[in-house]
């Protein structure tokens, strides 16, 4: 059996910029494979020292990562309350994350004190696999940029052999539908037809509900159904685990909040 988990970690901070223990959170998932979105690396710490690598070192995972954007992470807000984020917390004046690669941030964002006092770094995705698993190959599939999207999009494919069954695990972070993500879904569908093995698991923050995800990726089946966002009062599932080929889903569940605005999702699978 194989236990897989997806977690959008919001750079390890809440909406006020207060950090949470990402290593303890990931340890609690009891995963064999862990896919992370919005993993952060401070520029001051240098390459290979980001959150994904710290988690991998602490918990015994191999790490395959990919940067999607540059940005700044705000420091804890002096007026933070017990709420996860301030009211209207995506405004530039109180936001905790500023990311962009394909086009510049707005002038109001660049002028915000939260931005100017923040720490610069990179934001991306990662696939972490237990060192006991046999990794046979890793590659990054870049998706074409979308005109309205601020960040690059990609998928990481890791080929594994589990119980002598060859499978691929794919991690991604898709854009929003109103940014034109349907184009990237078409690209991803085409690429995974040849770049991933017939037995495969796809995990990610899809920024889209389950039925349209299935419509865009008809060869894949949902392993988890449940509300994941926002973590404090979820009304939608945008974080998904999907499978294809000769893979059976033993269990699939949404896990309790772990510090981010997304709830983690976990599935236990049997192969072959």
For residue 200, which phi and psi values (nearest 5 degrees)? -150, 155
Q: What is the pLDDT of residue 94?
A: 83
Task: With beta carbons less than 8 A apart as the criterion, state whether 43 and 70 touch.
Answer: no
- Closest CA relative to residue 228, chosen from 214, 208, 212: 208
SS3 163: coil
The tens digit of pLDDT for each residue in 205-228 reads 999 999 999 999 999 999 999 999
CA 267 to chain centre: 16
Q: Which domains does the chain have, with CATH numbers?
A: 2-271 (3.60.10.10)
Mean pLDDT of 40-49: 88
The tens digit of pLDDT for each residue in 167-179 reads 999 999 999 999 9
Q: What is the pLDDT of residue 91?
A: 76
The tens digit of pLDDT for each residue in 191-206 reads 999 999 999 999 999 9
As a whole number of angstroms, the distance between CA 224 and CA 114 comes to 36
Q: What pTM value is reported for the model?
A: 0.96
Residues 6+ positions from 48 with CB-CB distance below 8 Å: none
Prior bond to 230 cis, omega within 30? yes
Residues, the chain: 272
- Closest CA relative to residue 138, chosen from 148, 146, 126, 150: 126
Chain position carrying tokens 């340890």: 27
Per the prediction, the chain carries an average pLDDT of 95
Helices (H) and strands (E) in the chain, counts: 6, 13
């Amino acid at each position: 059996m194989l236990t897989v988990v997806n977690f959008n970690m919001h750079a390890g901070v809440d909406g006020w910029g207060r950090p949470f223990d990402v290593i303890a959170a990931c340890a609690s998932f009891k995963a064999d494979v862990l896919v992370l979105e919005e993993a952060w690396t401070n520029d001051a710490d240098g390459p290979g020292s980001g959150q994904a690598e710290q988690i991998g070192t602490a918990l015994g995972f191999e790490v395959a990562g990919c940067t999607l954007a540059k940005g700044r992470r705000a420091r804890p807000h002096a007026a933070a309350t017990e709420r996860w984020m301030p009211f209207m917390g995506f405004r530039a004046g109180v936001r905790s994350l500023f990311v962009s690669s394909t086009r510049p941030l707005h002038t109001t964002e660049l002028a915000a004190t939260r931005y100017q006092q923040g720490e610069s770094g990179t934001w991306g995705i990662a696939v972490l696999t237990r060192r006991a698993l046999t990794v046979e190959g890793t590659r990054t599939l870049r998706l074409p940029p979308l005109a309205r999207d601020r960040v690059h999009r990609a998928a990481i494919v890791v080929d594994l052999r589990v119980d002598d069954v060859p499978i691929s695990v794919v991690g991604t972070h898709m854009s929003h539908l109103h940014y034109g993500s349907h184009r990237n879904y078409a690209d991803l569908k085409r690429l995974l037809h040849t770049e991933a093995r017939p037995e495969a698991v796809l995990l990610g923050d899809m920024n889209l509900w389950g039925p349209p995800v299935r419509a865009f990726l008809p060869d894949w089946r949902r392993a988890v159904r449940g509300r994941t966002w926002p973590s404090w009062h979820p009304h939608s599932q945008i974080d998904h685990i999907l499978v294809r080929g000769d893979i059976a889903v033993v269990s699939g569940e949404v896990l309790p909040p772990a510090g981010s605005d997304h709830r983690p999702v976990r599935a236990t699978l049997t192969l072959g």
